[in-house]
Chains A and B, each alone.
Chain A
Amino acid sequence: MANLLHYFASHLATLRLEFWSLLVGGFATGVMYAMVAIGYTMVYGVLRLINFAHSEVFMSGGFASYFMMRALIGTSTPSGTWSVVLVIIGVLTGGVAGAAIAMLLERIAYRPLRRRNAPKLAYLISAIGASYFLYNLAGKEFGRINESMPSPYINHTVFTIFGAPVQLYYIVIFVVGVIMLITLDRLVATTKLGRSVRAAAQDAETASLMGVNIDRTIVLTFVIGGALAGAAGFLWGLGFTGVGFYMGFTPALKAFTAAVLGGIGNLRGAAIGGLLLGVVESFSVAFVPASYIDVIAFGILVLVLLFRPTGILGERLGRSA
């Protein structure tokens, strides 16, 4: 017992020492999880299916922006306004590539099944097949190794919060991620386009009777989710992990978890779930060896689902996208 107390006391000391560092790092990861989780939750809201090829949408964004950065930066060291422009170009490239791949996925892997009224299991298999195909294609074309992305800026500590260094990389993630997430929220809540997405989620048949083009709306949800995931792929690749054919697997799995944690089908839930998962993962390190981080993360998921089976914000099927 005394041992146990001592164990927790010493780890609490570690946590106090590193609290702010871990919080900043966890938030940065969380924002990226949130951006990927949006894609899962939107597609689920409209089609009631989990797009398991979403990890490869993320990966495509990473690779497209990697090639763009390599072409534009090469071996130079950008600075000033050029750095800002490069980050914007990277986000756009990643976003466009993600959107394009997501659209293709919808066309090739899902629409033919939808036309034939296939059972939901068929979608699942089709998604897994598309995922295998895409990442192996990337492995074949781009090599099965990690590539480090040329950096559009020199990473350095910009300021500190209570002694915790906040780096430029984290600031880039926060700024890009928060802008995109808020834009999306407004888009879905206030525009005509958003209304059609919400209507299709609520009752696709009635919505189509009311003049909503269902096919177009479904493509739109894929494109929006894909753009966010693609941009997240760029941000992820900018960090120490670089880009690789298998880069989508774990982040997407975590993002899916985040979407369920927040309440699948609920946009804000996905964002909150992502942030929460990122921070929880980060804090776990203060308490347990790295090998048990996932145990903590998924343990919390199970606890949350035990008490709130529909996730933190609840499964708002039909009302949000």
Chain B
Amino acid sequence: MSVSVARPCAWGSHYTVEEDELIKPRLNKTVAAVTTSALLLMAVPVVGIASTAGAAPKPTFVIGYEGPLSGGNQQLGLNMVYAVQLAINNANATHKLPYVLKMAKFDDQGSSTLSPAQAQAAVANKQLIAIVGPAFSGATKAAEPYYRGAHVATVSPSATAAGLVAGFRNNNFMRVVAGDDVQGAADAKFLVNKKGASSVYVINDASFYGAGLAAVFAKSAKADGAKVTATTVPGTAQCQDGTASPSEYPAVATSIVAAKPAAIFYGGYYCDFGLLLGALNSAGYSGMIMSGDGSWSPSLISGTSPASAANNVYVSEAGGGNATLTGKLASGYTKLAGFSAKNATYAAQSYDATNVILAALAKVYQPRFKVKALRERIVLALHRISFRGVTGHISFQSNGDLSAKSIVDFGQVQNGNIVSIGHS
């Protein structure tokens, strides 16, 4: 990292103090050692001045994105990563920042077995100051210990599992969406009270996210007066790191149809949900079907055989009131992504998550801070931030959840598209 010409000495000495302040074990260093390192550090900029002669180049900081960029559920990750890129491009384009921003991608395929390695790689990146993500709840749970250990703030646009904030001992995880306790309850109200489903067959995919959402839904639906049958249909190896074979789905679908529920609720992601919809269609199911934010994607329709089996399915998203990128942001997004921002679930949240990190960075940035110091200061700044994003007002509770009461959006598949049909 280089600095302005005017104050090499000040930088040298201040730098040492900063580092000691933050790394407690080093507090015991002797005065002599401090002096030596200060002298050594002072020497470095002097050499730098000679070679660069004046205008110091801006430092580069990396915002990481961790989520599924390949695998069965990659569409959700792709939706997010282009929004992160858009926010970074827009920030760089102002030319007013004293630093250059870059993005690094960490592909965990949405899997909790792959995410720790990605988190370790992210933490090891010497320019990385914070993470947008991780995207999936199970992957987040597995990765957080590594981020926490390195004091890297993770602002997730989509990890909604209630268990991520309840009793979680770290302070570096935040999310710009409501938890599944909010979403599951709103979904139950929608299906039971608004659509009049007297009996609901609740299915989860055995993932951390799906099981959590389904449990909240089942509890709320019961409280709302519906008869609830709950079961687990594990996700398939074809879609995620699930254990089941898709060949089991027809039999599962047959037994669901035999139970004659008025509605089915699925807690899980679109890839397996699409397989189940195909099987339910073959088994002759004709009642209502609903799923959560993990299924709000056009890929649900293209991945369902036949595509018509996805018709009339309801989906929900714990956004902040119909949160999509609009206007110039939407066109910029489409240019980067090659697909429309409409129905790109979590694009708007990712845009906000990136910007809220950038706002925190702008607040705490001083040229004398190294990346390690910045990481910790960003975590602290995020807890105090008050920010107006495209999805609404963003500030965080101490557990990382949004302070604002969130609105849950509802959509329905109509003629091969997901159409917004109101909110809670």
Binding site for B on A (CB under 8 A): 14, 17-18, 21-22, 25-26, 28-29, 32-33, 139, 144-149, 151, 155, 157, 165, 167, 169, 239-242, 244, 246-247, 249-251, 253-254, 278, 281-286, 289-291, 293-294
Contacts and interface: CB of A to CB of B under 8 A. Distances in A.
Given A290-B244, A293-B244, A293-B251, 10 more contacts: A14-B255, A25-B254, A26-B251, A32-B247, A139-B70, A144-B71, A146-B271, A240-B282, A241-B278, A286-B255
A291 B232 contact: yes
B307 A145 contact: no
A134 B212 CA distance: 36
Nearest to A284: B251
B239 A146 contact: yes
Interface stretch (B43-51, B297-305, B398-406): B297-305
A148 B302 contact: yes
A264 B304 CA distance: 36
Contacts of B245: 250-251, 253-254, 294
A149 B305 contact: yes
Contact of B238 (A151, A169, A247): A247
B71 A25 contact: no
Contacts of A17: 258
Given A240-B278, A290-B232, A250 B237 contact: yes
A290 B233 contact: yes
Interface string B113-129: 00000000000000000
19 contacts: A18-B255, A21-B254, A21-B283, A22-B251, A146-B238, A148-B278, A167-B282, A169-B282, A241-B249, A246-B237, A247-B238, A250-B247, A253-B245, A281-B251, A284-B251, A290-B233, A290-B244, A294-B243, A294-B244
Nearest to B276: A240
B255 A250 contact: no
A244 B275 CA distance: 12
Interface residues of B, number: 45
Given A18-B254, A251-B247, A290 B275 contact: no
Given A145-B72, A148-B303, A149-B305, A281 B247 contact: yes
B420 interface: no
Given A291-B233, A293-B244, A146 B274 contact: yes
B72 A25 contact: no
Interface in B267-304: 271, 274-275, 277-279, 281-284, 299, 302-304
A289 B232 contact: yes
Most buried by A among B236, B247, B258, B302: B247
Contacts of B18: none
Contact of A254 (B243, B247, B250, B254): B247
What's the dominant secondary structure at chain A's contact region? Answer: helix
Contacts of A251: 245, 247
Given A21-B283, A25-B254, A250-B247, A291 B234 contact: yes
A290 B258 contact: no
Nearest to A169: B282
Interface string B291-325: 00000000100111111010000000000000000
Given A139-B70, A285-B252, A241 B238 contact: yes
B273 to A, nearest CB: 11
A247 B246 CA distance: 9
A275 B47 CA distance: 77
A160 to B, nearest CB: 11
B75 to A, nearest CB: 7
B248 interface: yes
B306 A241 contact: no
A234 B198 CA distance: 40
A167 B253 CA distance: 15
Given A29-B250, A144-B71, A249 B282 contact: no
Q: Which 8 pairs from chain A and chain B are nearest by CB?
A: A240-B278, A250-B245, A148-B305, A285-B251, A282-B251, A241-B246, A25-B250, A290-B233
B234 A250 contact: no
A240 B239 CA distance: 13
A250 B251 contact: no
Contacts of A155: 282, 306
Nearest to B252: A290
